[in-house]
Structure 1
Amino acid sequence: MDVMNPPIEQPMQQTVATTAAPSELKILCTLGPASMDPRTIQRLEQSGATLFRINLSHTEPADLPRLIKIIRSATDVPICLDTEGAQIRTGRFVDGQITLRDHALVKVHKKRVPADDKNFNFYPPESVEMLVPGDFVRLDFNSALAQVVSCDDEAVVMRVLQGGPVGQNKAVVIERDLSLPPLTAKDVKALAIGRDLGITHFALSFANKGEDVLEIRTHVGNDAFVISKIESRGGVQNLEEIASHSDALLIDRGDLSRQVPIELLPQAQKSLIKRGNAANTPVYVATNLLESMVSSSTPTRAEVNDIHNTLADGADGLVLAAETAIGQYPIRCASMISKVIRGYQQDGLTAKGFYPEDAISLLVEPHGGRLVHREASDSDRSTIEHLTHVAIREKDLMDCEQFAYGTYSPLTGFMGRETLESVLDTYRLPNGEVWTLPLLLQIDADKVRNVSAGDRIVLTDESGRVHSLLDVTEMYRYDLDSLAARMYGTTNRDHPGVAQLTGRSDLFVAGHVTLVEPLASPHRHYLLSPVQTRFIFTQLGWSQVVGFHTRNPTHRG
């Protein structure tokens, strides 16, 4: 039996199948002050972003050409313009935020005024005309609650029932359905600019019915990719109709939570995703996926569970908003989403003899799919004194360590004849994995006179110090001149590789290596195994690493 194929072929197939899947799920990243620069945009793309979103609620149309140019200078990932849509928002405040006091009377003016905690505006301006006495008005994600008490030609007077801080450009919810146009004048202007600049992806906020989607298509064309956002009662009720005219749906849990009781939001999400799936329309989910990472470098356990469960519900994509637009850690947020997706998509099973797949790493996967890990257990150690001990060269012991630590993944030990022939002929292992270098163990016949395939032996250094265990799978002879010619293209003994190969035994021993005790070294604390380097790179949030071969002394400075 060949040393290579039996232990590694199945794990490799399993891992390759699972790690290829993240590209199927979409990651939408909103760009803003924290991320609107080429370097960050490139890192977001490397971290898995598949669509970059510009929120028109916080962007002026005149700024679009400049912003689009910045994005395109860094990436070819598509850009999506997300409209303001049929929503009422607070206007601008002199100090950026006000605090409404319980029982205070405040005026919402129809014409623009210098805004403070007594007098302010709503946007769009015509929305004020729709208010009538008795209307309940919630401001800034339920921070404050007021009731309309009177209306005149200049303003609407409201009594504050529950005070609280209110920010500018924040959502306002009227506790009855109002018929607002699906696009604001600002949206229409921005969409025209976007189309002129070649933008093909658009998001319709507060899609309430199928006609709203048809309306945005009159501005962006039937060839555009339209994402309809489900964030209102109308959107929930008319989802199938909206889906029939849309390329994708987006469940915005933030705005939806103002019309669906928050305690019912989880089941609403499950229901909406299920309906979207049934309509064969991709469904994305947004809001508070990683809210804590706006100011923290790591997410909460609840957030990670929420993302996993959202994917399990059937979501086709995830949307980062404040996390990447204004948060302190936009790249880490995108990386975390990718990591959770990768963790969700793999089965989590671990084969004996391999490091567990690092579900949170965005690094390229180990060669062959999994990182080999073969270190002796207590049970292995207990048998050592009863086994045959064979002293081998320090170079071969160093190879043993590389097998055990996974440096040579997916190899688990010295090559048998079949693997050797495959590498020499095709530069591949028998299972198809690229491998160009034979790794062989030459042992003098008299040292293994009583050893045969199926035996376990102990490998030691010349002093007899135990280093590794070798489960012998094959012992074979090979003509050294023929092997040298195939490996090095020459049989000339002046070639150091040829001299080393032909100066030793023609008996080769193949088998799986298990490390007992590494070689002593005063520099051991500088030696990092593959799993250690991958751990460090992952902790640093790196997704791309350049390797440098420090073979020559001048490269080691």
Structure 2
Amino acid sequence: MRRHRRAKIVATVGPASNSPEMLKRLFLAGVDTFRLNFSHGTHEDHAKVHAAIRALEAEVGRPIGILQDLQGPKIRVGTIRDGKINVAAGETIRFVPTGSDGDRDAIPLPHPEIFAAIAPGHHLLIDDGRVRVAVTRIGDDFIEAEVIYGGVISNRKGVNLPGTILDLSPLTAKDRADLAFGLELGVDWVALSFVQKPGDLLEARGLIGDRAGLVAKIEKPSALDKIDDIIRLSDAVMVARGDLGVEIPHEEVPGRQKELVRACRLAVKPVIVATQMLDSMVSAPTPTRAEASDVATAIYDGADAVMLSAESASGSYPVETVEMMDRIIRSTEQHKLYRSIINASDPGEEQTAPHAVAAAAADLANVIHSSAILAFTSSGTTAARIARRRPAVPILAITPDEQVSRRLCLLWGAHSILSEDIHTYEEMVERASRWGQEQGFAKVGDSMVVVAGIPFAQAGTTNNIRVIQIDRR
């Protein structure tokens, strides 16, 4: 089950892909981690998908990651008389905190935290920015605004507030119930939506503990202002370009994507690039050339993973979409300019012994044209430090922890292997040689670089590099 690429594929499960048969086809096509979107579906639906993925994992004998994506606080307008109103640029409209059957003079916005935080000059974006208004006057029970871009405001449409930091937990009552359910199931990652500030992650971490990895979804401008602290407090980051692209100018999204990928690589945290990557394949069997370039750009940037949303959840061509993404990644990584671009974006060295050992192992493997790097890792950190260097050879991450092996399905270049602890040098060499051959990464006569920590089976002790020659099957 070797993948002939380094970047990983995350695919969202939905009505088009939730059967055990389709999940298997998607995995064989290239999916490394499945995303369960808790904005949709019931707990029963998600439990069935989770069970099917774990059964598939046992069948194929390979770890498979599962990411739970929490809905987060959705801000929406309320109910409008006749279902919708048309507003034109230049006219004045008014939002109120309560009521129903609203009109342009009293559009319900049932979120008191907005009225507490908004200020003149702030903007409200309605229906993914199709309607944009600027606040001109506020009171205790109203927000008056001038329409900048006119259009239709209809019932329950979403509202984005790019310039307003709300006193709002990213975990709603629904999220807390969903999180408890997901942790009970045994998800590997939990994605937190609409992170605004570092404290949001502390709240989630208190509930999750070490039972799952915590993914910060970056989709608010305020998160970009505190990004270093947010990355430090998370286990991985998702560049959620959908809402982020609504709240910041479109032309800034590509640059922000590159910044986030580089910052995560520097911090040794996996980063996922998401949203509309092959969006036309929701209804067509092939993507646009621009979409293929978009996926390739994320790979050239050095992203750990790229993600499919509606394409695999509700589209007409879920398997074809995964196959296309797999082909784009492999073609990009094999391009003659890929290695020079990846090397040029190297974030530099961390001044610690474990980082230095990992970097030295990656460089050594490149110099001697090793078949692979084998990292014995308890927590996954050793493999992540090696991946930070983006070596030219695969990384076999050998761990005794089943949960760690599944989380590694999100890490660039890592082929995770679940194995019992080692205790001696001889055992390390024998196990490395055997795994390299059994997993199809090496053959007799090849060399491999082995990275481990002495004493064995202790996290945080990466301090040893060894080159081994495979001399027997």
TM-score of the pair, normalised by structure 1? 0.53
| Matching residue of 2:240 | 252
1:44 partner letter: L
* Aligned-pair CA distance for 1:276: 1.0
Distance 1:68 1:95, change over 3 A: farther
* Aligned-pair CA distance for 1:71: 4.2
Q: Is 1:41 paired with 2:23? A: yes
Please identify the structure whose Cα radius of gyration is greater.
1
| Matching residue of 2:158 | 170
Q: Is 1:108 paired with 2:90? A: no
1:140 partner letter: D
- Alpha-carbon deviations, 1:500-533, whole Å to 9, x = none? xxxxxxxxxxxxxxxxxxxxxxxxxxxxxxxxxx
| Matching residue of 2:291 | 303
| Matching residue of 2:175 | 187
Helix, strand or coil at the partner of 2:165: coil
Distance 1:199 1:133, change over 3 A: same
Q: Pick one of 5, 8, 21 that aligns with 2:4.
A: 21
| Matching residue of 1:72 | 51
Q: Is 1:267 paired with 2:255? A: yes
Distance 1:162 1:72, change over 3 A: same
* Aligned-pair CA distance for 1:93: 6.9
Asked whether the 8 Å contact 1:136–1:148 carries over to 2, the reply is yes
Q: Is 1:196 paired with 2:184? A: yes
Helix, strand or coil at the partner of 1:250: strand
Q: Alignment RMSD, CA only?
A: 3.3
- Alpha-carbon deviations, 1:51-108, whole Å to 9, x = none? 222333x336xx2233222442354444322223366344577988765444455443
Of 119-128 and 269-278, more deviation after overlay is shown by 119-128
| Matching residue of 1:141 | 128
| Matching residue of 1:333 | 321
- Alpha-carbon deviations, 1:104-161, whole Å to 9, x = none? 5544342363567775544656434433454321122221111335555655444433
**How far apart, in 1, do the equivalents of 2:43 and 2:106 lie?**
31
| Matching residue of 1:404 | none
**How far apart, in 1, do the equivalents of 2:16 and 2:105 lie?**
33
Helix, strand or coil at the partner of 1:222: coil
**How far apart, in 1, do the equivalents of 2:219 and 2:321 lie?**
23
* Aligned-pair CA distance for 1:334: 1.7
TM-score of the pair, normalised by structure 2? 0.61
1:326 partner letter: S
Helix, strand or coil at the partner of 1:258: helix
Asked whether the 8 Å contact 2:50–2:185 carries over to 1, the reply is no
| Matching residue of 2:36 | 54
Q: How does 1:500-511 map to 2 (within 5 A)?
A: none
1:21 partner letter: H
Q: Is 1:343 paired with 2:331? A: yes
Distance 1:336 1:93, change over 3 A: farther
- Alpha-carbon deviations, 1:281-303, whole Å to 9, x = none? 11110122112222222111111
**How far apart, in 2, do the equivalents of 1:267 and 1:132 lie?**
29
State percent identity of aligned pairs: 33
* Aligned-pair CA distance for 1:190: 1.6
Q: Is 1:84 paired with 2:65? A: no
**How far apart, in 2, do the equivalents of 1:95 and 1:318 lie?**
41
* Aligned-pair CA distance for 1:166: 4.9
**How far apart, in 1, do the equivalents of 2:50 and 2:310 lie?**
18
- Alpha-carbon deviations, 1:309-344, whole Å to 9, x = none? 210111000111222233332222222111111212
Helix, strand or coil at the partner of 2:132: strand
| Matching residue of 1:322 | 310
**How far apart, in 1, do the equivalents of 2:144 and 2:253 lie?**
32
Q: How does 1:226-245 map to 2 (within 5 A)?
A: 226-245=214-233
Paired residues, number: 331
Q: How does 1:278-293 map to 2 (within 5 A)?
A: 278-293=266-281
**How far apart, in 2, do the equivalents of 1:304 and 1:155 lie?**
46
1:333 partner letter: T
Asked whether the 8 Å contact 2:126–2:157 carries over to 1, the reply is no
5+ residue gaps in structure 1? 1-15, 350-430, 434-557
Distance 1:34 1:203, change over 3 A: same
Q: Pick one of 134, 157, 160 that aligns with 2:147.
A: 160
**How far apart, in 2, do the equivalents of 1:272 and 1:266 lie?**
10
**How far apart, in 2, do the equivalents of 1:104 and 1:42 lie?**
54
Distance 1:150 1:268, change over 3 A: closer
Asked whether the 8 Å contact 1:90–1:172 carries over to 2, the reply is no
5+ residue gaps in structure 2? 58-63, 338-441, 445-473
Asked whether the 8 Å contact 2:165–2:196 carries over to 1, the reply is no
Helix, strand or coil at the partner of 2:160: strand
Asked whether the 8 Å contact 1:38–1:71 carries over to 2, the reply is no
Distance 1:257 1:70, change over 3 A: closer
**How far apart, in 2, do the equivalents of 1:140 and 1:311 lie?**
31
